[in-house]
Amino acid sequence: MNMTSRVLLILSSLLLLSGTASAFYDDATFANINEIVTEHFELDIFIDFTRNVFSGTNTLSMRRTADFLDVVTLDVWDLNVSKIIDQNGRDYKFEIDDPNPNLGQRLIITIPEEVSELEVYNFTISYETSPTAEAISWLTPEQTSGKEIPYMFTQSESIFARSLAPFQDTPSIKTTYVVKTTTNPEFVTRVSGNMTYDYTDCTSRYSTFEMNIPVQSYLLAIASGNLVERRIGERTFVITEPEEIEKVENEFAQLEDFLIQAENITIPYEWGEYKLLILPPSFPFGGMENPLLTFASPAIVPGDKSSVDVAIHEIAHSWFGNLVTNNNWTNFWLNEGFTVFLERRAVRNIFGEDYMKVTAKLENQSMYYDMLDYGLDHTFSSLYPIFHGENPDDAFSEIPYEKGFQFLYYLETVIGEENFTEFLRKYLAKFSQESIGTVDFINYFTSFVTETFSENESRDILEEIDFDTWIYAPGLPPVTLDFETEEYNQSIELAQNFLDGTVDKEAALKLYLSFSVNLKGLFISHLIDNIEEVDEDKASYIDNTLHISSEINGEIIYRWLQVAIRSGQLGSPFTSAEEFVSSIGRQKFVMPVYMAMKDIDIAKAKEIFERHRDFYHPLTVTAIEKKLYNEIMISE
């Protein structure tokens, strides 16, 4: 069977599995999304810093899409629901059950027969969150820069918005919304939306935010604390605590330029303003692309602008992820692969081809490590992971980012950069404000090739592309792409010289100091790959020569700590490693360090974690627990 026939067979099979091309399918939601859909919601909450809860109401405006409706099911997670009424004050019976504890719970609202044929429903649900809600991190004053008042922020991706409020918590459903917040007067609140009202009296502060472009539930974000905001470009702003604002403003002075670069490659930016909020250090990720309120870790503010590509990545999500969205978590690569591709295009235009290739080479190694963790034949190492009731977070890794990027980069080499840029723009225009799947992508790319090239050319192009292996097969990509540069080879050669004992100390230091952060990362990654050749004396010699342990960028520190621990240079009780993992909560940084400590002294690793458990975001706590206590069970 030729490749074109095989692709058509795959498409036909997937469409049969989903029933119809327009049906929603997401096995990580309990909501009956093929019978009723949310079109708008209005969240009205009091942010209670005394009890560490949200309390209030969520009013969902929903449209029936089925012929008959007897129940509405929504996603919740440890919510205390007390009452549900409609716009006429009618009480609705409800219950909460627990079909799969990995995914939260299901709220079942019974629809009386006399209103079962209504087209539009408005449910006002009174509820309160749990103090341990998965999506909310509550910080004490001591955990903030100012040390004066507490701080709160949320992180809803992937399925944790259901711990903030009852939702159809799936990327298949996009809605507009209004969020009204009430706090004590000293707190400044920001939400992923445009502020339309802000008033403070002697007892409270009242703020209102609107999102007028339909978005998925996981993009709802809320932060509250001692916050200040500063404009740094025509459309760009930074937000942080007052003590950090000057440093953050300086670090991201080019934010408007980054936005323009991404816009020039794609289509006009639709969201109006772009705001970057630098959170306290317990934030679990490098960044989160909440529209109008991107969240980012202070780890990307080392003071030397060496991690600004994280901000470029989050800007790129304005088009891929936020505007065009994966319709479920199996299709997550459509968010992240496209975003990394746009990020790298912008990085190339700003910093040069070599910088882009070195970044791709470094992150390809991270992807490979993640594949080894799952197993090269495991479904989670494919671009299309199959879930068996697991929380989608169990499959979150560098794989959808880097394998997705490499697939798109490969497609660009097949049809040419100019044509691929045109494809990106048409793809965005075609699917703007929609949630789509891999089948939609393949269909549209195939039609673009057919329309752009002659019959013979398009046939040859589609015959060359092995969609099946690239997307559905586990393991390494079927095509090895060339990201090597002269600088890359220099970094690997330097590392190998240290391993071989043939290094010139003075020349080595001069060369190392000329490296970018990513080249330094490649240098250290080569040592990690050959850790069996690095003993305590060799690690000390490398560190004494290059002074790696005095670096300030977390991208370097977390890699070096793995070398130091595994070589024996840094033994238990891992003092400097503990200092690092207790100062930053970014999972990319802390997880490998904990794993290195675990392999040397698991009791001490657990002791360190328990000592700093309260510092981390709930998502990070869960992730570390699964690794340290071997609780993760991945289905084959």
Beta bridge partners of 86: none
Question: Residue 600 and residue 569: Cα distance in Å, rounded?
Answer: 12
569 marked as part of a ligand binding site: no
Is residue 282 a known part of a binding site? Answer: no
**Is residue 490 annotated as involved in ligand binding?**
no
pLDDT of 2 > 60? The answer is no
3-class DSSP assignment, residue 469 = helix
pLDDT digits (tens, 9 = 90+) for 248-257: 999 999 999 9
289 labeled part of a ligand binding site:
yes
pLDDT tens-digit readout, 525-565: 999 999 999 999 999 999 999 999 999 999 999 999 999 99
3-state SS of 143-174 is: HCCCCCCCEEEECCCCCCHHHCCCECCCCCCC
Is 314 assigned a catalytic role? yes
Percent of the chain scored above 70 by pLDDT? 96
Marked catalytic residue, from 134, 244, 251, 314:
314
388 is in an annotated binding site: no
Kindly state the tokens that stand for 189.
């609140």
Rounded Cα–Cα distance for residues 398 and 369 (Å): 9
Q: How far apart are CA 548 and CA 533, in angstroms?
A: 18
| 229 touches 267 (CB < 8 A) | no
Is 378 annotated as belonging to a binding site? no
Arithmetic mean of pLDDT, 83-107? 97
Q: List, in sequence order, the alpha helices (H) in 266-352.
A: 309-316, 333-351
The verdict on whether residue 284 carries a ligand-binding annotation is yes
Q: How far is CA 596 from CA 150, 204, 536, 600, in A?
A: 33, 47, 15, 7
> How far apart are the C-alpha atoms of 511 and 603, rounded to whole Å?
39
**Is 588 marked within a binding site?**
yes
Give the model confidence (pLDDT) of 195-207 as tens digits.
999 999 999 999 9
Whole-number Cα distances in Å, 271 to 177, 292, 339: 15, 7, 17
Instruction: Give the CA angle between residues 593, 596, 600 to the nearest 5°.
Output: 140
Model confidence pLDDT, tens digit, residues 317-342: 999 999 999 999 999 999 999 999 99
Dump pLDDT digits (tens) for 142-181.
Answer: 999 999 999 999 999 999 999 999 999 999 999 999 999 9
Q: How far apart are CA 226 and CA 140, in angstroms?
A: 12
Closest CA to 260 of 213, 318, 209, 332: 318
For 256, 272, 318, 409, 545, the CA distances from 342, given in Å and listed in that order, are: 16, 19, 11, 10, 38
89 appears as a binding residue in the annotation = no
Contacts 24+ apart (CB under 8 A), 525-528: 525/362, 525/365, 525/559, 526/491, 526/492, 526/495, 526/496, 527/495, 527/498, 527/499, 527/563, 528/559, 528/562, 528/563, 528/566
Number of C-beta neighbours around residue 343 at 10 A: 27
Catalytic residue among 151, 355, 401, 558: 401
Task: Give the number of other Cβ atoms within 10 Å of residue 167's Cβ.
Answer: 29
* Amino acid identity for residue 75 in this structure: D
**pLDDT tier at 23 (50, 70, 90 boundaries)?**
confident
d(CA 122, CA 120): 7
Q: Is the pLDDT of residue 15 over 80?
A: no
587 is in an annotated binding site: yes
Encoded tokens for 325: 């969205």
483 in Cβ contact with 406 (< 8 Å): no
pTM above 0.85, yes or no: yes
Helices (H), 277-382: 309-316, 333-351, 353-374
Is 610 catalytic? The answer is no
With a cut of 70, say whether residue 620 has pLDDT above it.
yes
Six-digit token pair at 299?
A: 């780890």
**C-beta of residue 521 within 8 angstroms of C-beta of residue 556:** yes
Per the CB < 8 A criterion, the answer to whether 344 and 312 are in contact is no
Across the chain, mean pLDDT equals 94
**How many beta carbons lie within 10 A of that of residue 27, not counting itself?**
17
pLDDT at 291: 98
Among 312-316, 406-410, 631-635, the minimum mean pLDDT is found in 631-635
Judged by DSSP in three states, 278 sits in: strand
**Each residue's pLDDT tens digit, 554-608:** 999 999 999 999 999 999 999 999 999 999 999 999 999 999 999 999 999 999 9
Per-residue pLDDT reduced to its tens digit, 375-410: 999 999 999 999 999 999 999 999 999 999 999 999
Backbone angles phi, psi at 305, to 5 degrees: 60, 25
Question: What pLDDT sits at residue 630?
Answer: 77
With 60 as the cut, is the pLDDT of residue 276 above it?
Answer: yes
Q: CB–CB of 197/208 below 8 Å?
A: yes
Q: Please tell me whether 457 is known to bind a ligand.
A: no
* pLDDT at residue 187 greater than cutoff 90: yes
Give the pLDDT of residue 22.
55
Q: Give CA–CA dist 366/398, Å, rounded.
A: 7
Domains of the chain: 3-16+327-472 (1.10.390.10), 36-316 (2.60.40.1730), 503-628 (1.25.40.320)
